[in-house]
Amino acid sequence: MYRRMALLLALSLFASACGSSNDPPASSGSLSGNWLISMTKTGKTTVSHTQSGSLLQNGNAITGNVMFTDIPCSGVGSVNGAVTGSAISLTVNPVGTTITLSGMISTAAGKPPMSGTYTILSTGCVGSQSAPETGSFTASLVPPLSGNITSTFSAPKAGTTPTMAGKVTQGANTGASTTPLTGNVTFTGGFCYTSANIVGSISGTSVVMNLTDSDGVQIGQLYGTSVIDGTSITSVTGAFQYLGLGTGASKACVEGDTIDLTVTIAAS
């Protein structure tokens, strides 16, 4: 799952870098933000799908883009919908599939911010694992991934237990399927590198942080899932793969390695 979402996020990150000036402006609506939508098929509690990305609210209108996971029909779908009182309806259109969601918005403690029912229909994608399908959904508004980051981990090929510290900042919500992440980190304890810049993205709770050197060369990638504690993100649990490239790489990094780690996020 980490690698699948990392690929989708990386592709979206590349696409956003080539985007046009027609991107929608940020909105201050109450439903605007980064969302994770979990869908469970009727009668099949083990069959589920996710959608993740950004919504924008302007008055009663909802727009945005989300990632839909449904191998081999996964992709990014545009979102259009409306809010009437506490009722909400959304239509998502990934290539070859149409997803409609109808539900309610709640601010009650212990209840998801959004929940209801969904229908998935095929509009041309061959091999869909979900269309046709109906079920129920819940949706969570993911708090921004911004703050001071720290981590201590084991680097087997380097033969050290280094620490990583720095800061990450989540960019503005533009209604895209991913929201950019920027920042920087430093390493201590004899790791392969001494510092790196963060060029990443988040969609729902899936995070990719590409680490680059001062020349912009990618030296590694952190990919994983953020963990939400109440109304804040406290950590990202996943893996860090370093590539042994770029300025300052030591010989211990040339082969590359994948390290499981948890990055702690603290409000700055």
Find the DSSP H helices in 132-259. none
| 144: DSSP letter | P
- Structural tokens at position 260: 């499981």
Task: Specify whether the CB–CB gap between 229 and 216 falls below 8 A.
Answer: no
- Give pLDDT, residue 17: 39
Among residues 147, 211, 151, 201, the alpha carbon closest in space to that of 177 is found at 201
State pLDDT tens for residues 141-150: 999 999 999 9
Q: What would the two tokens of residue 53 be?
A: 């990305």
* Predicted confidence (pLDDT) at residue 253 exceeds the cutoff of 80: no
* Radius of gyration (C-alpha) of the chain in whole angstroms: 19
pLDDT of residue 139: 95
Cα–Cα distance, 220 to 223 (Å, whole number) = 10
Mean pLDDT of the chain: 82
**What is the rounded distance in angstroms from the CA atom of residue 54 to the CA atom of residue 50?**
13
Confidence label for 43 from pLDDT (cuts 50, 70 and 90): confident
Q: Is the pLDDT of residue 167 over 80?
A: yes
194 and 214 in contact (C-beta within 8 Å)? no
Categorize the per-residue pLDDT at 27 as very low, low, confident or very high, splitting at 50, 70 and 90: very low
Q: Strand (E) positions, 85-146?
A: 87-93, 97-105, 114-122, 133-142
Q: Is the pTM of this model over 0.75?
A: yes
- Give the pLDDT band (50/70/90) at residue 9: low
Contact between 157 and 252 (Cβ < 8 Å): yes
For residue 39, is it left (φ>0), alpha (ψ between -120 and 50) or beta?
A: beta
As a whole number of angstroms, the distance between CA 230 and CA 109 comes to 11
**Residues 52-105: pLDDT tens digits?**
999 999 999 999 999 998 777 788 999 999 999 999 999 999 888 899 999 999
pLDDT at 31: 94
Please determine, for residue 46, whether its predicted confidence score (pLDDT) is greater than 90. Answer: no
Res 101: pLDDT: 98
CA–CA dist 132, 119 (Å, integer): 7
Distance CA 36, CA 17 (A): 23
In the chain, what percentage of residues exceed pLDDT 70?
A: 82
